[in-house]
Chains A and B, each alone.
Chain A
Amino acid sequence: MSQVTIANVRKTYGSATIIPDVSLDISDGEFVILVGPSGCGKSTLLRMIAGLEAISGGDIAIGGRVVNNLQPKERDIAMVFQNYALYPHMTVADNMGFSLRLSKVPKAQIAEDVAKAAKILGLTALLDRYPGQLSGGQRQRVAMGRAIVRNPQVFLFDEPLSNLDAKLRVQMRAEIKELHQKLKTTTIYVTHDQIEAMTMADKIVVMRSGVIEQIGAPLELYDHPRNLFVASFIGSPSMNLIHGRVEGGHFVSDGGHRLPLPRATAGLEGRPLVYGVRPEHLALADDGFEVEIAVVEPTGSESHVLARLGDNDLTCVFRERITLRSGDRVRVRPEPDNIHIFDAQSGDRVIQV
Chain B
Amino acid sequence: MTHANVEIGSAGGRRLANTGLYAIYAVAVLFTLFPILAVVMLSMKQPSEVFSWPPTFLPATLNLDTYIYVLTETTIGRMLWNSVFLTACSTAGCIAISAPAAYAFSRLKFRAQKPLLLILLVYQMISSMVIALPLYRYFEALGLLDSHMGVILVYITVEIPFTVWLLKGFFDAIPPSLDEAARIDGASRLQVLRIVILPLAKPGLAAALIFNVIAGWSQFIIPFILIQRAEMLPISIGVLNFAPGQTEGEITIPYLAAASIIAMLPALTMFVLLQRYIVQALTGGAVKG
A87, CB-defined interface residue at 8 Å: yes
* Contact indicator A89/B199 (Cβ below 8 Å): yes
B182 contact set on A, CB distance < 8 A: 87, 98
B181 contact set on A, CB distance < 8 A: 79, 81, 85-87, 146
B177 contact set on A, CB distance < 8 A: 81-83, 85
B12, CB-defined interface residue at 8 Å: no
Report the separation of the CA atoms of residues A77 and B180 in the bound assembly, to the nearest whole angstrom.
12
Report the separation of the CA atoms of residues A79 and B289 in the bound assembly, to the nearest whole angstrom.
23
Of all chain A residues, the one with the shortest Cβ separation from B180 is: A52
* Contact indicator A83/B175 (Cβ below 8 Å): yes
Give chain A nearest CB distance to B139 CB in angstroms: 43
B178 contact set on A, CB distance < 8 A: 85, 87
Give chain B nearest CB distance to A338 CB in angstroms: 43
B243, CB-defined interface residue at 8 Å: no
- Residues 171-216 (chain B) with a chain A CB within 8 angstroms: 175, 177-178, 180-188, 191, 196, 199-200
Residue of A52, A83, A99 touching B185 (CB-CB under 8 A): A99
CB contact under 8 A between A79 and B186, given known A85-B178, A87-B178, A132-B289: no
Report the separation of the CA atoms of residues A102 and B183 in the bound assembly, to the nearest whole angstrom.
10
Query: What bracket does the count of chain B residues touching chain A fall in?
Result: 10 to 19
Report the separation of the CA atoms of residues A72 and B183 in the bound assembly, to the nearest whole angstrom.
6
Report the separation of the CA atoms of residues A50 and B177 in the bound assembly, to the nearest whole angstrom.
12
* Contact indicator A50/B200 (Cβ below 8 Å): no
B175 contact set on A, CB distance < 8 A: 83, 85
Give chain B nearest CB distance to A233 CB in angstroms: 27
Residue of B180, B186, B191 touching A81 (CB-CB under 8 A): B180
Report the separation of the CA atoms of residues A79 and B184 in the bound assembly, to the nearest whole angstrom.
7
Give chain B nearest CB distance to A105 CB in angstroms: 11
CB contact under 8 A between A88 and B289, given known A83-B175, A83-B177: yes
Report the separation of the CA atoms of residues A51 and B185 in the bound assembly, to the nearest whole angstrom.
12
Residue of A52, A86, A99 touching B186 (CB-CB under 8 A): A99
Of all chain B residues, the one with the shortest Cβ separation from A143 is: B181
* Contact indicator A87/B186 (Cβ below 8 Å): no
CB contact under 8 A between A52 and B196, given known A85-B178, A88-B289, A132-B289: no
Per-residue CB proximity of A71-85 to B under 8 Å, as 1/0?
111000111011101
B interface residues (Cβ-Cβ under 8 A, vs A)? 175, 177-178, 180-188, 191, 196, 199-200, 289
A interface residues (Cβ-Cβ under 8 A, vs B)? 50-52, 71-73, 77-79, 81-83, 85-89, 98-99, 102-103, 132, 146, 150
Instruction: In the A-B complex, list the 3 residue pairs whose CB atoms are closest, starting with the nearest.
Output: A99-B185, A85-B181, A85-B177
16 contacts between A and B (CB under 8 A): A50-B184, A52-B180, A72-B180, A72-B183, A77-B184, A79-B181, A81-B177, A85-B181, A86-B181, A87-B181, A87-B182, A88-B289, A99-B186, A102-B191, A146-B185, A150-B185
16 more contacts with CB within 8 A, not counting A89-B199, A102-B185, are A51-B184, A71-B183, A73-B183, A78-B184, A79-B184, A81-B177, A81-B180, A82-B177, A85-B175, A85-B181, A86-B181, A87-B181, A89-B200, A99-B185, A99-B186, A146-B185
